[in-house]
Structure 1
Amino acid sequence: MTPILADSVRLTDDGVEILDRRVFPERRVWVHCASVEEVAKAIEDMVTQSSGPYFAALWGMVLAAREAAGLDAPAARARLDAAGARLAATRRTNNHLRKAVTATLSQVDGQTGGELVAAVLAGARAGDERYRSRSAALGRHTADLLPDNATVLTHCWADLYLVELVLAAADKNLAFVCTETRPYLQGARLTAETLAEMGVDTTVITDGMGAAVLSSGEVAALVTAADRVTMDGHVVNKIGTLGLAVAASAFGVPFHAMVQAPDRLAPTAAEVPIEYRDGTEVVNRPGIRGHYPAFDITPPRFVTTVVTDRGPFSPHQLADYYREAP
């Protein structure tokens, strides 16, 4: 059975429907976005996250093409470029948004009207299929690294990567331990709910319990997604990943970071902008200041394997990924 979060952004005749992850799983509310700006605002407001913004950007660009269909070719392209820039700027750390925009514009070459909409839609559909097929490959390669009957610790919501890992490891009898992942509790609400929906043995722990669980000897691997991996092996992911990786290293537990591909535009961690969200998302009381970097950076010495759609790589040998056929 395909879990609901694997298909949580949908294009309709009059907009884009996005499953509101802020209230999931208690409520299943779909937010209707009738314009590119509304899609961008939904991404910024955390209506969707992880790979959700990628799919929202794909279909948001189709909305932009519909809006630009009545313009001449130069004006239409300018409208699309502006829409793409707006969407790509909504979450700066993950580079999926930039890739989504590039995918949708890949077949645009001076078209107008219905042909323009068709070209952007074709690019969006190709981007959708490519992301899903690469996630499936990523899941298979990660499953190969895990022993039978393993307990896996994960952090935040790894989205289609996690879904495909569970499908690929169906005969391995895996159990998962999920951190809460504060302040939005993606692990407790999204990861745990989806694993349970797929019939997987699932346990939720508070964020402060990770090191103790890793010290127990019961965890075979720490497995997370990565929002970005630099060419020198730094793993950028949801805040809290660094602490878990350090603890895993201390207790001899391998850390496998899942990403479709290392980012050639980020040779080092210095090229990755870290998003800081409003501190009121952590605490909102008079006289108390909240601090909320949304991501942290794990140095390669704490990373065992970077798993990609082309297989596993040492974090020190990521250049080998691009020596394969593109």
Structure 2
Amino acid sequence: MTCGTGVELPFLIRPENTARYEDGEVLILDRRVYPFEVKFVRCKGYRDVAEAIRDMVTQSGGPPFCAGYGMAQAAREARGRSSEGILEELERAAKCLIDTRPTNNGIILMTEKMLDVGRNAVRNGHDVENALVQAVNAEFEARHKRGLAIGENGASLLRDGDSVLNHCWAESGIVYTVYVALQQGKRLTAYCSETRPYLQGARLTADALCDMGIETTVITDNMPAYLMSRGMISKFFTGADRVTMDGSVINKIGTFQIAVSAHYFGVPFFAFCDGPDPKAPTAADVVIEERDPNEVLHCLGQRTATPLAKGYYPAFDVTPAEFVSAIVTDRGVFSPYSMVSYWQ
């Protein structure tokens, strides 16, 4: 799809380059090696999908769609069983997929939605696998429409000439915000923190923004405060794996320290999300994933730390509402202190 400026949505955000369903198999773009290599991991069953999500083959907004297709695989696996047997397999698959990355609320919401689709298909005697595949495909279309709405709201916060800092890979939030801003004729430059240890900022965000024609500079994770002190950053944007009802932003580790720096230097911090989690009143109600400590001792397959040292890897941190300027959603831009308004 192309906007009025002739700029297309970047490779990474196109549905077929997130995941696709082919003859009972789920093909997932391996974001661990992109953009150096365009490779798809082929998953033959939902347990393979779960392993791919756990192993960071896909991140950010990718896992929910992969999990959705994984639910279709569960239905395929249960074909020929009784209605009760099919539902049991779907529930088993949902738990398996949700358990992969418990902080990512999108996986939970997608699998719960697909469970409802599966139950309705069983109840009405429809092909459960097909119903689930079609439902996931519809979710991709809904993401596009929701992304455009988020982009309209995000672009309203940008001025011509802004220099935007991004941390990690905010997926459709930052892409559609830039997409709409370009339609409005705004000129932007971008900085991307590299985002160790998987370098999502250096590889994914930077690639997508360059793909859209944005002048983009990659910086190390310990540079943002210095750039802010020199007046080089106008706005700070991130995604959010979860926003709680008290306005806390749970996102990629490192978000909190940049937000504190932004607050000190008067740089607005905006977080994209599809809506706050009504089941999480505070950050204490969210499980913060801790990954294999060995992962922080390596980068792109190369050990980067002395073999004498150990690692520690909380995958996410919590930024309290006091350091958040606003939450950008499809329904508008909200103060972090008025999250309840999103649902009213």
* Aligned match for 1:293, one of 314, 322, 325: 314
Map residues 182-221 of structure 1 onto 2, 5 A cutoff: 182-221=196-235
Q: How has the CA–CA distance of structure 1 residues 73 and 176 changed in structure 2, closer, same or farther, with 3 Å as cutoff?
A: same
Q: Which residue of 2 aligns with 1:318?
A: 339
Which segment drifts farther, 285-294 or 179-188? 285-294
Following superposition, the deviation at residue 140 of structure 1 comes to 1.3
On the 8 A contact 2:24/2:76 being kept in 1, the answer is no
Following superposition, the deviation at residue 151 of structure 1 comes to 0.4
Structure 2 distance, partners of 1:209, 1:15, is 42
Q: Which residue of 2 aligns with 1:236?
A: 250
Structure 1 distance, partners of 2:112, 2:144, is 17
On the 8 A contact 1:229/1:235 being kept in 2, the answer is yes
- Does residue 117 of structure 1 match 2:102? no
- Does residue 157 of structure 1 match 2:169? yes
On the 8 A contact 1:50/1:159 being kept in 2, the answer is yes
Which segment drifts farther, 190-199 or 108-117? 108-117
Which AA in structure 1 matches 2:12?
A: L
Q: Which residue of 1 aligns with 2:191?
A: 177
On the 8 A contact 1:73/1:112 being kept in 2, the answer is no
Following superposition, the deviation at residue 187 of structure 1 comes to 0.3
Q: Which residue of 1 aligns with 2:3?
A: none
Q: Helix, strand or coil: the match of 1:177?
A: strand
Following superposition, the deviation at residue 124 of structure 1 comes to 2.0
On the 8 A contact 1:76/1:112 being kept in 2, the answer is no
Map residues 91-130 of structure 1 onto 2, 5 A cutoff: 91-107=101-117, 108-109=119-120, 110-111=122-123, 115-130=127-142
Structure 2 distance, partners of 1:141, 1:37, is 38
Q: Which residue of 2 aligns with 1:2?
A: 9
Q: Helix, strand or coil: the match of 1:31?
A: strand
Following superposition, the deviation at residue 166 of structure 1 comes to 1.4
Map residues 36-51 of structure 1 onto 2, 5 A cutoff: 36-51=46-61
Following superposition, the deviation at residue 281 of structure 1 comes to 0.3
On the 8 A contact 1:139/1:162 being kept in 2, the answer is yes
Structure 1 distance, partners of 2:55, 2:125, is 32
The alignment's TM-score, normalised by the length of structure 1, stands at 0.96
- Does residue 280 of structure 1 match 2:315? no
On the 8 A contact 1:58/1:104 being kept in 2, the answer is yes
Q: Per-residue displacement from partner, 1:53-112 (whole Å, max 9, x unpaired)?
A: 011011111111111121110000000010011101100111100111122223333348
For structure 2, the residue ranges without an aligned partner over 5 or more in a row are 1-7, 298-302
Q: Which residue of 1 aligns with 2:97?
A: 87
Map residues 45-84 of structure 1 onto 2, 5 A cutoff: 45-84=55-94
Structure 2 distance, partners of 1:120, 1:47, is 22
Identity %: 47
Which AA in structure 1 matches 2:163?
A: T
Which AA in structure 2 matches 1:163?
A: V
Which AA in structure 2 matches 1:287?
A: L
Q: Helix, strand or coil: the match of 2:114?
A: helix
Say what the alpha-carbon RMSD is for the aligned residues. Answer: 1.4
Q: Which residue of 2 aligns with 1:134?
A: 146
Q: Helix, strand or coil: the match of 1:37?
A: helix
- Does residue 263 of structure 1 match 2:273? no
Structure 2 distance, partners of 1:135, 1:81, is 29
Q: Per-residue displacement from partner, 1:256-276 (whole Å, max 9, x unpaired)?
A: 111110110110010011000
Which AA in structure 2 matches 1:183?
A: P
On the 8 A contact 1:11/1:59 being kept in 2, the answer is yes
Following superposition, the deviation at residue 307 of structure 1 comes to 0.9
On the 8 A contact 2:151/2:174 being kept in 1, the answer is yes
Structure 2 distance, partners of 1:286, 1:219, is 37
On the 8 A contact 1:69/1:113 being kept in 2, the answer is no
On the 8 A contact 2:94/2:115 being kept in 1, the answer is no
Following superposition, the deviation at residue 282 of structure 1 comes to 0.6
Structure 2 distance, partners of 1:112, 1:71, is 15
